[in-house]
Amino acid sequence: MKRLSRRHVLAAGSIGATAALAGTAACSDPGADGADAGELDPSADVTISIGDQPTEDKPDQRAAFDERIGEFEAAYDNITVEPSTEMWEAQTFQAKLAGGTLPTVMGVSLTYSYELIENGQLPDMTPYLEELDLVADLNPLALDNVKDADGSIYSIPTGLFSVGIAYNRAIFEQAGLDPDTPPATWDDVRAFAKQIKENVPDVTPYAQLTTNNTGGWMLTTMTYSNGGRVQDDAGAEAVMGQETIDALQVLHDMRWTDDTMGREFLYDQEALRQAFAGGTIGMALQAPDCYFTVVKDYGFDPASYGQGQLPQGGAGNNGTLTGGTLKLFDAKATANQLLAAARWVKFYDFEKYYDEAVALADAESAAADNSPVGLPGLPPVSQDVYDRYLTWIEPHINVPLEQFAGYTASTLQLIAEPPAATQQTYAALDPVVQQILTDEGADIAQAVADANTAVQAIIDQAAR
């Protein structure tokens, strides 16, 4: 056989290279076809991707979700749905959003609403919601969070919540506390925690979220409970004052004077809920959706779960923080995709509130795979519609509602999250909470003053 010479190799290589270049040129995208939204044609074939599919480790939920997709595709045979386990995560969301790798629609924290609208990262959904006759059905209070100044609607708010306090009823009983009486004030929280510490060994009487922006989220909540604010209503100024100092003082005293906060001070939402489900936490600030996670995902005994309204400071009755999920639609999707995606949201999140048969089927299948049915929360629809829905599903409700009585009876004012650069504001407040819990000599007033400076810089940078 003839030996390969250098020239042969070079020739072969250059031919291969030229072919490869030509191939690349042929494959390159002749122009993104998603950029142009196109004409709306409700019956045209369309493929959408949807996020928030439950992951493999939650087989029941995943099967139920997939079943709903099957029903949806059967009802609208021009729509093909590609589910994705993509879900909102504060630590990666911005990069994925910028990278354009998110599905056509998925749920993200309502905190991003103003920022996303202002940055042009949400499409104007008004025509599609009108086409689907969905606008009148939505909770008008929540809808205000996803509108711009002209009244255009950019998203669909769902999964609304207000923060309260979750507590372990078994620990309360062991400590000699009445499990039907959650703490109503921060003084109660302190006293209850002390009583737990005296009577129940090896548990953390009161735990606080501190990392991945949850520290700032809960400091904001505590500030609200004392009647204060973190930003002014316009989101132009950082206004933390005595109310925030008082909130931190309570934490400081529970940590250093009473020693009722355990030894772990780097909790994020997941870690705290795991510890709560493990039965080692007496009380923690949580919205009622905590029940779903600890019971369904971590096997916590439902009989031990108690939920009260947010403990109040000062003169009381100051309010609580409310938030939720917004459906993030892909700003680069076509008109037909956006309509189909909105249709999916209507089908998956709203139909049960208006159709008794759907409500019953949904509740039955959820109850069959031991998912909580009838979990208290703020409805994404108007209160009347929601009440009617609750009467429909009543026979299937499996959540011990009497253990939520302290929460559901609440008449606290619902206060929205800080409007400007919300997650960044929370991120800037994480270290403040951590400092109070890990440094006994921390100067609280100074820490709050510094936090105001930091948040102000974030507001200014965001408005730049």
Among 3, 4, 7, 30, binds other proteins (CB under 8 A): 7
- Segment interacting with other proteins, rule: CB under 8 A, options 15-23, 62-70, 157-165, 380-388: 15-23
- φ/ψ of residue 185, rounded to 5: -130, 170
Q: How near is the Cβ of 71 to other proteins at its closest, in Å?
A: 33
> Which residue in the set 41, 45, 364, 439 belongs to the binding site for other proteins (CB under 8 A)?
439
Residue 92 CB, nearest approach to other proteins (Å): 6
CA dist., res. 156 & res. 105, Å (int): 10
The whole-angstrom separation of Cα 175 and Cα 309 is 21
Nearer to other proteins, 3 or 464 (CB): 464
Least separation in angstroms between residue 94's CB and other proteins is 3
Strands (E), 32-132: 46-50, 79-83, 105-109
Instruction: Name the minimum Å distance from CB 114 to other proteins.
Output: 13
Q: Can you tell me which of 152, 242, 434, 456 binds other proteins, judged by CB under 8 A?
A: 434
Q: Which CB sits closer to other proteins, 219 or 366?
A: 219
Q: Could you tell me the smallest distance in angstroms from the CB atom of residue 280 to other proteins?
A: 9
Among 106, 207, 429, 454, binds other proteins (CB under 8 A): 454
How do beta strands 164-168 and 305-309 pair?
antiparallel
In whole angstroms, what is the distance from residue 428 CA to residue 454 CA?
Answer: 7
CA angle 390, 167, 408 (to 5 degrees): 30
Where in 15-128 does DSSP place strands (E)? Answer: 46-50, 79-83, 105-109
208 closest CA partner among 196, 199, 221, 198: 221
CA–CA dist 147, 113 (Å, integer): 9
**Binding window for other proteins (CB under 8 A); candidates: 10-18, 37-45, 52-60, 300-308:** 10-18
Binding-site member from 120, 151, 201, 299 for other proteins (CB under 8 A): 120
| Rg, C-alpha atoms of the chain | 26
Options 32, 35, 95, 149; binder of other proteins; rule CB under 8 A = 95
Q: Is 94 one of the binding residues for other proteins (CB under 8 A)?
A: yes
Interface with other proteins in residues 248-267 (CB under 8 A):
262-266
With 0-12 / 13-18 / 19 or more C-beta atoms within 10 angstroms meaning exposed / middle / buried, residue 446 is exposed
Compute CA 290 distance to the chain's CA centroid, rounded to the nearest angstrom. Answer: 11
Residues near other proteins (CB under 8 A) are 6-7, 10-11, 13-15, 17-18, 20-21, 90-95, 97-100, 119-121, 202, 210-213, 262-266, 268, 331, 421, 423-424, 427, 430-432, 434-435, 437-439, 442, 450, 453-454, 457-458, 461, 464
